[in-house]
Amino acid sequence: MRNVSSKSGDHADAAEVAALLFAGFVSEADAARRLGLEIGDLKLLLADLDLSNAAMVPVEIDEELNTYYVDLGRSAFDAPLFNDVVDRSRATRITKQTIRLRLPANVVLGNAATSQRSCPGGLIFHVGRCGSTLLCNLLASVPGWVTLKEPEFVNGLLLRLAAERDSEQKERLGALVALLLRSLGHGVRLDTNGRARACVVKLSSWNAILADEFIWRFDSMPLLVVTRDPWATVASFLSNPPHWYGHGPASVAALPFMRTNRVEAARFFAEAWSRTIDGVLRFPEQQTLFVDYAELVKNPLTVLGIVCLHLRNGGEDPNIGSVDKVMRQYSKDPRKERFKPQGRHHREALEPEVRDLVTAITANSWSALVTALSRCRTG
């Protein structure tokens, strides 16, 4: 693998400009000017290096806040998670000639003013186990859209931000999250055939708690919030604990605890649900569309049409055939397993004791959510 870094010897300046160009932080005209070239000469140079069609996206951030980019921006991103695509690429495509770019945080932040205005067409927030992956798959069935699901580099940055106590460093990390999301939108702006497309990024459920640190940096970007009642959400988490619960793989670390401490596990998930809802209810009302799980499952074509309208989609309308195909599949299975709501995908309802606990914890947030849904419904 060839690394292109802003600290690569005699060609440091050129490497930095090239990395900024591919990351979307400078335009071709600006890159050519910095390199002392005409735009035509820059394009010839990129062609000679077999980089004309490169589509770099951020995939990893190290402890020093260096961001690493790889050329997979034209992928379909049809796996359950963004990092599934990254891992698949690492396993099958990396050779000695593969280019990986590196940009330090100070270089990214220092070029914020010249950043290209490409950015995600929208962000998806959610409470977990609520159909957010299903919504992503439905959106991806509409020509001109690609959905990126829970990129881990965003999670890593937000975990650092949550632990940070210095206000200036928190500001820096929040700005870096926003800039790298813009860079992600820039990297995936063309599909494998060179056709323009827009992207929507689905964030991890807990990201909503920290969204105040970065969403205001996107002006009027459309926001989608996928919700589900807390009883069903907690029941799903109890049945199949998420990877972030416990201190290791869910099947190893979380399940033994949950068998003996089911009430405490339910308390944890209910509190997480409430904190997530409290976070999304702070979003600007004019930017935010709430999507209810029950309505999405009942009327997917109608809901998808309203979502596309909210995202200001100027392309093709959703197709009933494509929607039906997505609805028949289990959304989180890359093998396109058939969805069986009354079979293996069925989740038992909460027992009365746990249900009462969840109700007590979530009552205020749930009431506020119902009010928001009544103002802004997808059905």
Q: What's the pLDDT tens digit per position in 89-145?
A: 887 765 545 678 999 999 999 998 877 666 899 999 999 999 999 999 999 999 999
| Amino acid code (one letter) for 3 | N
Q: Which domains does the chain have, with CATH numbers?
A: 115-144+197-379 (3.40.50.300)
Which candidate, 84, 90, 50, places its Cα nearest to that of 68? 90
Q: Which residues contact 356 (CB under 8 A, 6 or more apart)?
A: none
Question: Which residues have C-beta within 8 Å of that of residue 26, sequence separation ≥ 6?
Answer: 17, 20, 34, 111, 114, 116
Quote the pLDDT of residue 98: 66
Instruction: Work out the mean pLDDT of the chain and round it to a whole number.
Output: 88
> 10 Å Cβ neighbour count for 11?
11
Write down the pTM of the prediction.
Answer: 0.90
Question: pLDDT higher for 81 or 96?
Answer: 81
Give the mean model confidence (pLDDT) for residues 178-194. Answer: 96
**Residue 45: predicted pLDDT:** 87
Which residues does 336 contact at the CB level (< 8 Å), separation at least 6?
Answer: 329, 330
Amino acid letter, 58: P
At residue 229, the pLDDT reads 96
Q: What percent of the chain has pLDDT over 90?
A: 72
Q: What are the tens digits of pLDDT across the range 310-325? A: 998 777 889 999 999 9
Report the range of poorest mean pLDDT among 109-113, 114-118, 339-343, 365-369.
339-343
